[in-house]
Amino acid sequence: SSELTQDPAVSVALGQTVRITCQGDSLRTYYANWYQQKPGQAPTLVIFGRYKRPSGIPDRFSGSNSGNTASLTITGARAEDDADYYCNSRDNSGDRYVFGTGTRVTVL
Partner 1 sequence: QVHLVESGGGVVQPGRSLRLSCAASGFTFRNYGMHWVRQAPDKGLEWVAIISYDGVNKYYADSVKGRLTISRDNSKNTLYLQVNSLRIEDTAVYFCAKETDESYDRKAFDVWGRGTMVTVSS
Residues in the chain: 108
Tell the smallest beta-carbon distance from residue 13 to partner 1 (Å).
26
Instruction: Kindly state whether residue 90 participates in binding partner 1, applying the rule CB under 8 A.
Output: yes
Strands 69-74 and 103-107 come out as unpaired
Question: Quick count: other Cβ atoms within 10 Å of Cβ 20?
Answer: 23
Instruction: Kindly state whether residue 102 participates in binding partner 1, applying the rule CB under 8 A.
Output: yes
User: What residues numbered 14-53 form the site for partner 1, per CB under 8 A?
Assistant: 29-31, 33, 35, 37, 41-45, 48-50
Instruction: Kindly state whether residue 78 participates in binding partner 1, applying the rule CB under 8 A.
Output: no
Tell the smallest beta-carbon distance from residue 5 to partner 1 (Å).
11
Instruction: Kindly state whether residue 98 participates in binding partner 1, applying the rule CB under 8 A.
Output: yes
Q: Are the C-beta atoms of residues 8 and 101 closer than 8 Å to each other?
A: yes
Q: Residues 6 or more apart from 52 whose CB is under 8 A from it?
A: 63
Q: Are the C-beta atoms of residues 47 and 62 closer than 8 Å to each other?
A: yes
Judged by the rule CB under 8 A, the positions of this chain that interact with partner 1 are 1, 29-31, 33, 35, 37, 41-45, 48-50, 54, 84, 86, 88, 90, 95-102
